[in-house]
Structure 1
Amino acid sequence: MFGATSVISAFCRGLREVRCLHMSQISASQVMVDGLQLNYEVKGDGDKVALCLPGALGSVESDFGPQMAELPGMGLKVVCWDPPGYGRSRPPPRQYSADILRCDAELVADMMKNLGYDKYSVLGWSDGGISGMMLAAAFPQHVEKLVIWGANAYITQEDYEIYKGIRDINTWSKKMREPLETMYGREYFKVAWEGWVDAVCSILEKQGGDICTGDLRNITCPTLIIHGAKDPVVPLFHPNYLKENIKNSELVIMENGKHNVHLRYPDEFNKLVSDFLHRA
């Protein structure tokens, strides 16, 4: 079992590495959806549209720099958003609940409709992968293909204990706190992180750990599951479960990858994604 320090380190390392990997400052676009001002970015002019969904406390800039920089040159139009309360989709602050990721899925579907996109594929990392599965299940008429990594359909007691163990940011080292404090400011980061941990843990307390297992049977589009073999945040049994329960899915294990495989190995990851999305 991986310890809390490994989990925090893996989460924050992704934020540090993306600053070295992404292109120069991304300009913001805004759209009003269901009373919320949402930040999004569009890059490229390819016929195939790929919607990127960030992970916990994630944004366009922190989570998808290498994809926004490279995938448009691989024949794709890439759309990425900051979920409400994250990145530049503030204010208002993030409003956490056990169903927040489902709310994100519905909201981003409305955003894409408002922006005029009827058909698109979904790329979701971690929490964004969970929302991506919910989106594909609920809106099969819009989602052509699904790519998910670092995602899970349920949480276990082991997951619960790890999350509880990392709730207090005062136990984190300065090096681990710094990327998120820089992005959000210490107070907002503290409140947002605690809200995220509490919301995730409530899924085990109130729902027996079930996040979206029932959605999996309703995913009909071709699905690519990518997973880092050394991921300390989401153990390998999670992607194996997804592979077994999502029809028309395939699983690719990146042997040296951890939770942030798309940031640590962007060339390999982007090629996998491009080849999959262009496949007939």
Structure 2
Amino acid sequence: MKHLILFAALALSIVSCKKDDTPGNGPETTIDYHQTATTQFVTAGDTKYAYRVLGDKEGIPLVMLSPLGSTMDDWDPAITNGLAQKYKVVIFDNQGVGSSTGKTPATIADMAKGAVTFIKALGYNKVNLMGFSMGGFITQQVALTEPGLLNKIVLTGTGPKGSEGLSNLPNILASAANLSPLDAFLYFGFTASAESKSAGKLSYERRLKRTVNRDAPVSDESGAAQLTAVLAWAQPYPDALKELEAITQPVLHIQGQKDMPVPAVNAINMSQHIPNDRLVLYPDAGHAAFFQYPDQFVQEVSEFLGK
């Protein structure tokens, strides 16, 4: 079980809808905020949260919530840099993750409380919130429990409570237990096509470029708690979609058509219940669809936040 948890942290650190034009390959940025942003700390309660601020723009910041097994350095710089050209982007480690202190909660609800505590500790009373995979689970929970804190929401690679296919995660992990870090990244985040794998390799390389003051890795204890939380989220919950009808903020929802850990049917179901949800399915894309098509993603998110 310990081996499965460790592999989960590695693999997932990557781990009727409106049809858009086929995405492109990668944005050009002018300022490399991802490489140069310093790690800062803010203390709230018993936790010392590690965070970085990318960009110096005014206005409502975009706070990004990481997936299972991920720290600040696991975001693709093409995404963070691209968004930071127009918006203040805040990335951070939740309780017990990476360079943050405290104990990682074993439930999504408690992780959401940690995220809210962090946001308020920075003095923000309104943010745009983006969640990837597990971060998307947390984002949904924040939207339901602290709706006044959120301006707009971006979701990617995620699904509602009781997501179809998510309970199969242990089997998916076990089937790739002997893969290299790169191959695991490609297996979970991308498709089998040559184009998707090529884009995945470029993303993998971008995520390794920061070599100075990198974030601490996710510990065994933290990874175990996160996996427990994700598998609990996967349990059947008949009222999940009905609950999402209470989310009134505008939502931009990006999902890969061939997402394996969280199949695209979950995003489709969510978009039919969240009143202001705009769903875009990226073709020939897996769990990390936005890493595969960073330029399209940055453009769509920038336009969405700017409206």
TM-score by length of 2: 0.72
Query: How far 1:71 sits from its partner (Å)?
Result: 1.3
Return the alpha-carbon distance in structure 1 between the equivalents of residues 76 and 283 of structure 2.
21
CA distance in 2, matches of 1:198, 1:167: 16
Change (3 A) 1:39 1:243: same
Please list the CA deviations of residues 20-65 of structure 1 after superposition, one character each: whole Å capped at 9, or x if unmatched: x984264211111221111111122232311111111112211253
Contact 1:134 1:212 in 2 (8 A): no
Q: Which has the higher contact order (CA 8 A, sep 6+)?
A: 2
Deviations 1:181-235 (A, max 9, x none): x98679x34x54444334433445xx53569545412211111111111212211
Determine the C-alpha separation between the residues in 1 that align with 2:124 and 2:283: 35
Which residue is 2:14 aligned to? 14
The match for 1:197 is 227
Q: Evaluate the alpha carbon distance shift between residue 210 and residue 62 of structure 1 in structure 2; reply closer, same or farther with a 3 A threshold.
A: farther
8 Å Cα contact 2:159/2:262 also seen in 1:
yes
Q: Which residue of 2 aligns with 1:61?
A: 73
Q: CA RMSD in A?
A: 3.3
Letter in 1 for 2:48: Q
Letter in 2 for 1:130: F
User: Which residue in 2 is equivalent to 1:272?
Assistant: 300
Matches within 5 A, 1:242-257: 242-257=270-285
Preserved CA contact (<8 Å) 1:228 1:255 = yes
**CA distance in 2: counterparts of 1:185 and 1:51, whole angstroms:** 20
Query: Cα 1:53–1:156, aligned 2, differ >3 Å: closer, same or farther?
Result: closer
What is the aligned partner in structure 1 of residue 190 from structure 2? none
Separation in 1, partners of 2:82, 2:180: 32
String of CA shifts for 1:231-272, please: whole Å, max 9, x gaps.
122111100111011111110111132211222221111111
Correspondence 1:101-120 to 2 at 5 A: 101-120=108-127
Verify the 8 A CA contact 1:31 1:37 in the aligned structure 2: yes
2:132 equivalent to 1:125: yes
1:18-29 mapped onto 2 (5 Å cutoff): 23-24=34-35, 26-29=37-40
Tell me what 1:134 maps to.
141
Cα distance change of structure 1 residues 203 and 258 upon mapping to structure 2, 3 Å threshold: closer
Which AA in structure 2 matches 1:48?
I
User: Is 1:222–2:256 an aligned residue pair?
Assistant: no
Q: Is the 8 A contact 1:31 1:39 kept in 2?
A: yes
Answer whether contact 2:153 2:250 (CA < 8 A) is retained: yes
Unaligned runs of 5+ in 1: 16-20
Structure 2 residue 263 is the aligned partner of structure 1 residue 258: no
Q: Which has the higher helix share?
A: 1
Q: 1:212 to 1:130 in 2, by over 3 A?
A: farther
Deviates more, 1:138-147 or 1:150-159: 150-159
Query: How big is the shift at 1:165?
Result: 5.0
The CA distance in 1 between the partners of 2:71 and 2:240, in whole Å, is 23
Of the three residues 144, 147, 156, the one matched with 2:151 is 144
CA gap of 1:119–1:148, structure 2 versus 1, over 3 A, is same
* Bigger shift: residues 219-228 or 249-258: 249-258
Aligned counterpart in structure 1 of residue 179 of structure 2, from 173, 176, 186? 173
For 1:185 and 1:131, locate their aligned partners in 2 and report how far apart those are by CA, in whole Å.
Answer: 20
Q: Structure 1 vs Structure 2: percent identity of aligned residues?
A: 21
TM-score of the aligned structures, taking structure 1 as reference length:
0.78
